[in-house]
Amino acid sequence: MVHQIGNRTGLVLCGDLGTAVRIVIRDAAVLPDADGRSVTPEEIRRIAVTNETVRELLRFAISDDYFYLREKLGTAIAKAAAA
């Protein structure tokens, strides 16, 4: 649960799903050869099928909670477009 909260917090604060997912994948060591290179979207999809941590982060990234938190932080897309 602590890792889940940390992963979610990292995503909300960095605002970049690709970066957050790559960090989770690196930390989980599911692609040991990924250090120093970008993980492709295809690899992310493949990993998400079997890795609950990655799947959970992806689910959170499309949740109402995620968009609510971004709005509260002032980083929501609607706020950025209005500025």
**58 contacts: CB under 8 Å, gap ≥ 6:** 17, 21, 48
Summarize pLDDT for 2-23 with one digit per residue, the tens.
889 999 999 999 888 988 998 8
Summarize pLDDT for 27-65 with one digit per residue, the tens.
877 776 655 567 888 988 999 999 999 999 999 999 999
Give residue 34's pLDDT: 56
Answer whether 0.85 is exceeded by the pTM.
no
Of the chain, the percentage scoring pLDDT greater than 90 comes to 45
Tell me the two tokens of residue 60.
Answer: 């959170």
Q: Any idea where the domains of the chain sit in the sequence?
A: 2-82
Give residue 74's pLDDT: 85
| CA 79 remoteness from chain centre | 21
Residue 80 has pLDDT above 50, yes or no: no
Question: For residue 79, what pLDDT band results from cuts at 50, 70 and 90?
Answer: very low
